[in-house]
Amino acid sequence: MSSNDVTHHAADDHDHHHDHDEHGPAPGLMRWVTTTNHKDIGTLYLWFSLVMFFIGGAMALVIRAELFQPGIQIVDPMFFNSMTTMHAIVMIFGVVMPAFVGLANWMIPMMIGAPDMALPRLNNWSFWIMPFAFTIMLSTLFMDSGGPAGGWTLYPPLVLQMGDSFAYVIFAIHFLGISSVMGSINIVATIFNMRAPGMTFMKMPMFVWTWLITAYLLIATIPVFAGAVTMLLTDRFFGTSFFSAAGGGDPVMFQHIFWFFGHPEVYILILPAFGIVSSIIPTFARKPLFGYDSMVYATASIAFLSFIVWAHHMFTTGMPLAGELFFMFSTMLISVPTGVKVFNWVATMWRGSMTFETPMLFAIGFVIMFTVGGLSGLMLAITPADIQYHDTYFVVAHFHYVLVPGAIYSLMAATYYWMPKWTGNMYDEKLGKLHFWISTVFVNVLFFPMHFVGLAGMPRRIPDYSLQFADWNMIATIGAFGFGFSQLMFVYIIVKCVRGGEKATAEVWEGARGLEWTVASPAPYHTFETAPAIDAATVTR
């Protein structure tokens, strides 16, 4: 891209900013309560998920502390169960999903040359539901009956044994669902209606593509989940028996409905990560993304396949043979488009001119460790072997590899990558790299041993275990505390960057391409009030 272009666009926006001073942020706290600005709302989402990350992380540390050695030392098994349940709910619905929505809010309008999201008031509302929903959810931990302790999968009949917190949990889930669906509708509406002239679908950055597909997954599956939990609610309070054999229902039907939501949900948690990594690797390899078209098609195929693999979570429930075979084959098939993505990233790196700033380190960490999780996923697809793996720590290792050094690493990569654009300051590169290396050491010390104890036969969701698992559990706990506390560095780096630092240029990164890098750093409060020109220099492909 020519530097002329950059200054031209930056100056453009600067002028607009002056023209519209009266549209600047309202002063004080009310700015955040009443804001309809996509950047403000993005910031709110991101801070919210950072706070929740530490709450969910603290729960994980309670779990790991109890599992440090055999015997029950610290918490009652019932509280242990509510920690595993809440840890999952917080991390999925409170960290990864809102963080991705935050990034979507910040980046999608800037990437497609739109002045804001299509539905700004709805946007404000979808954020502000979340803190209240989570206050309700977390408050159940302080009730006499304790929080939900039947696992985040909420399987009946166990979940129906929950005490008074039951109704609160269902209520909070409904509100989180409403928030997600509204956010998704907003994203779809924005991408369809707000693209700058010339920004055709096949020119959109991969992050926009992956989010478009994710938004459809959310719109399709969250209502299914809402239906399932509502049926739980009526079973508990209104005498229905959807999930009770005594009244003609079937507890396994809940599992089918839940995983029809739950499996696409897994991809909701990873597709935007694919988009982030597909933005970062080309930048630091100084080479366009390899196979853009196949990346788009692979994402769409993964999304489609995600709807027809759900029962691979249920191979031990006693499905007919034909069902088991179908779900085994369809699950194995998912590895094809996922493999295409990994190969494309590697091919993007190949014969590039790479530098390894913090975002690139996290992105490469993502590709490697996500692939480890993907490969164990392929093992889990083999039904006869899954009978042995199911509900053991092998599964725990698998999904933590795709979610922590997977989804969470992509979020960290995104934060380092776009933070100079958000704040106008460069973060501390040295600390960023240190953060990466320390996290990477500990995350593997934490999760890798779980493969071993799982294969050796340790079930998940148990507060105490037999002695042959003791050594690896101790190591995993050391890793957990190391990983948990090293995330304080992340907060420190963010706060330091927000408060000052070396000034960032508009382009920030030498190899960066895309509309977001054509506006000044920090990005003005309003960007692209007049649509930018779309040319070879401003599209990522």
Q: Which of 94, 93, 92, 116 is nearest to 104 (CA)?
A: 116
Q: How far is the CB of 191 from another protein (least distance, A)?
A: 23
Report in angstroms how near the CB of residue 68 gets to another protein at its nearest.
14
Bridge partners of 392?
459
Q: Which amino acid is at 76?
A: D
Of 223, 215, 74, 232, nearest to 153 by C-alpha is 232
**CA-wise closest residue to 311 among 371, 375, 383, 251:** 383
Q: Is 146 in the site for another protein (CB under 8 A)?
A: yes
CA atoms within 13 A on the CB side of 196: 26
Encoded tokens for 506: 């508009």
Catalytic residues: 87, 116, 152, 179-180, 263, 265, 267, 278, 312-313, 338, 341, 460
- Among 321, 495, 499, 536, interactor with another protein by CB under 8 A: 321
Q: Which two tokens stand for residue 418?
A: 């776009």
426, 497 in Cβ contact below 8 A? Answer: yes
Question: What residues numbered 351-410 form the site for another protein, per CB under 8 A?
Answer: 351-356, 364, 367-368, 371-372, 375-376, 378-379, 382-385, 387-388, 390-392
**125 vs 343, which CB is nearer to another protein?**
343
Helix (H) / strand (E) element for 208: namely helix 206-237
Q: Is 147 in the site for another protein (CB under 8 A)?
A: no
Q: Does 240 bind another protein (CB under 8 A)?
A: no
**Contact between 346 and another protein per CB under 8 A:** yes
The secondary structure of 453-486 as a DSSP string is HHHHTPBSS-S---GGGHHHHHHHHHHHHHHHHH
The reply to whether 300 sits near another protein by the rule CB under 8 A is no
Cβ closest to another protein, residue 139 vs residue 530 = 139
Considering only residues 453 through 492, tell me which ones interact with another protein, judged by CB under 8 A. 453, 455-457, 459-469, 471-472, 475
Q: Select from 105-113, 189-197, 434-442, 521-529 the region that touches another protein (CB under 8 A).
A: 434-442
Determine if the peptide bond prior to 157 is cis (ω within 30°). yes
- Window of 50-58, 69-77, 191-199, 494-502 that interacts with another protein by CB under 8 A: 69-77
CB of 472 to another protein, least distance (A): 8
To another protein, the closest distance from the beta carbon of 282 in angstroms equals: 9
Nearer of residues 42 and 454 to another protein, judged by Cβ? 454
| DSSP assigned state of 330 | H
Q: How far is the CB of 305 from another protein (least distance, A)?
A: 13
Burial class of residue 14, CB neighbours in 10 A (0-12, 13-18, 19+): middle
Q: Which is nearer to another protein, 100 or 290 (CB)?
A: 290
Q: Which of 333, 431, 498, 537 binds another protein (CB under 8 A)?
A: 333
Helix (H) or strand (E) run with residue 110 in it: helix 97-112
Note whether 80 and 144 are within 8 A (CB): no
Using CB under 8 A as the binding rule, whether residue 129 contacts another protein is answered as: no
Tell me which DSSP letter residue 404 carries.
I
**At its nearest, how many Å lie between another protein and the CB of residue 37?**
35
Least separation in angstroms between residue 344's CB and another protein is 8
Beta-sheet strands, E only, within 87-167: none
502 binds another protein (CB under 8 A): no
SS3 call for 500: coil
Q: Does 70 bind another protein (CB under 8 A)?
A: yes
CA distance 315 to 182: 34
Which stretch, 133-141, 149-157, 501-509, 512-520, contacts another protein (CB under 8 A)? 149-157
Q: Is residue 52 near another protein by the rule CB under 8 A?
A: no
Q: Following DSSP, what letter does each residue of 221-264 receive, concatenated?
A: HHHHHHHHHHHHHHHHHS---TT-GGGT--HHHHHHHHHHHHHH
Using CB under 8 A as the binding rule, the residues of this chain from 12 to 51 that contact another protein are none
Q: Which residue has the tokens 């490697």?
A: 368
Pattern 199-238, another protein, x by CB under 8 A: ----------------------------------------
